[in-house]
Structures are given as structure tokens and as C-alpha cells.
Amino acid sequence: MKIGIVGAGHIGGTAAKLFARAGHPVAVSNSRGPASLAPLVASIGSNAKAVTSEDAVKFGDTVLLAIPYRKMDQLPAVGLFAGKIVIDAMNPYSAVGRVMDLGDSTSSEEVAKRLPGARLVKAFNTMGWNTLASGSRPGYEDRLVVFIAGDDAAAKSTIAKLIDDIGFASIDTGSLRDGGRRQQPGSPIYGRPMTAREAKKILG
């Protein structure tokens, strides 16, 4: 599966390495331009290339959004995302690190509103990048969980398979609204590496 990555920092860069290592071609992008990503691309190898954000979206069958949530308005044109599976890894922090007040809404619902036509899956939100970088396990025993949520069952199962490919277990927390809320900053599963067994106990 070709994966375009918008935002190749801690989370996007780490995910790019894992996806490429699992055999998926990746196109990474950031705000400073492809040349600034030469070291990352060199460290990943032949499965990676650096492009503009627009070209990363065009490249991907799946697109990972890993820029600061507050910069969502700077994403490439909405039309480019139509029909694509889009992974929203963004958490709603302000520039000073406070969780933004979204009222009754949740961050991925806001992303879905911004990108109508995209097949949105919330994933990679609750795990810190350093755990993602080092927590992959080849066997199935005691894998760490990457939570997913969304309203498109087929898109969720594609992302569950991708998570499996990179050595983690996926757990579906539900719809974008309810499952998204279960993954928000401050929730019991946020920022706590855990196995599927532990996660199921917490989620009931």
C-alpha cells in the first residue's frame, strides 16, 4: 500500500520508517520542503521519497496526517483527499500545549468536517512516538496496542492490517464520535503503552 505522509516529524517520521520496513512505499513531506527530509529518506532507504505535501496526498492510497492539529487549515486542497483513506494522528493541542476546547465535538470529527470525502480513521493518537519507535514486536504475544476509531468499517480494517504489519495490535474504540472521545488527551488509554489484554480491561 502506498502511503503519503503529511508531517514527517516525531510521529510521521517514525511511522514512515515502520511502514517502509514492512514493505509499504512511503512519500514523506513537511512544511520546509523535500530537501530538508533528505536525512530521513536516507535513513529509511529505497522505499521512501521526499515530496511536497500535495504530492504526498496524491501519492498515497492512504495518507497519514501528522502535523500539529492547530495547523489543520494548512493541509493541501480538500479535493485531493477525496476517496482516500486518511489516518488522523493529530491531537488537539494549542501552541502552548493546552488541550483545545472543542465543545461537544472531538478532534477527528473536526478533521472529518474539514476533509469531506476522505475515509477518515483516527489512529496513532494515544501512543508516544518513542514507544512507537521501539515498541514493535515480531510475535503476537503481548503486542502493544494502537487504537483506531472511525465510521468507515473497510477503511478501519485496512488500517488494522497496517498496524499488524508494523508489529502492533489494533483495537477499535468505535465510531469517530464515541471511539474518538475514548482516545482524546486525558482519557484512561491516552499516553499509556498497554497490551490488548490491559486495554480491554480499561475499556470494558
List residues binding ligand NAP (CB under 6 A). 6-12, 29-32, 53, 66-69, 71, 74, 89-91, 93, 124-125, 128-129
* SS3 of residue 119 by DSSP: strand
Q: Are 183 and 173 in contact (CB under 8 A)?
A: yes
User: Smaller CB distance to ligand NAP: residue 140 or 191?
Assistant: 191
User: Smaller CB distance to ligand NAP: residue 131 or 157?
Assistant: 131
* Minimum gap (Å) between residue 51 Cβ and ligand NAP: 11
Question: Nearest residue by C-beta to ligand NAP?
Answer: 9
Q: Are 63 and 86 in contact (CB under 8 A)?
A: yes
Q: CA-CA distances (angstroms) from residue 30 to 34, 69, 111, 148?
A: 7, 14, 18, 24
> Cα(165)–Cα(147) distance, rounded to whole angstroms?
15
SS3 of 58-84: HHCCEEEECCCHHHHHHCCCHHHHCCC
User: Smaller CB distance to ligand NAP: residue 140 or 162?
Assistant: 162
Element housing 86 (H / E): strand 85-88
* Minimum gap (Å) between residue 10 Cβ and ligand NAP: 3
User: Smaller CB distance to ligand NAP: residue 93 or 198?
Assistant: 93
* Minimum gap (Å) between residue 72 Cβ and ligand NAP: 9
* Minimum gap (Å) between residue 179 Cβ and ligand NAP: 16
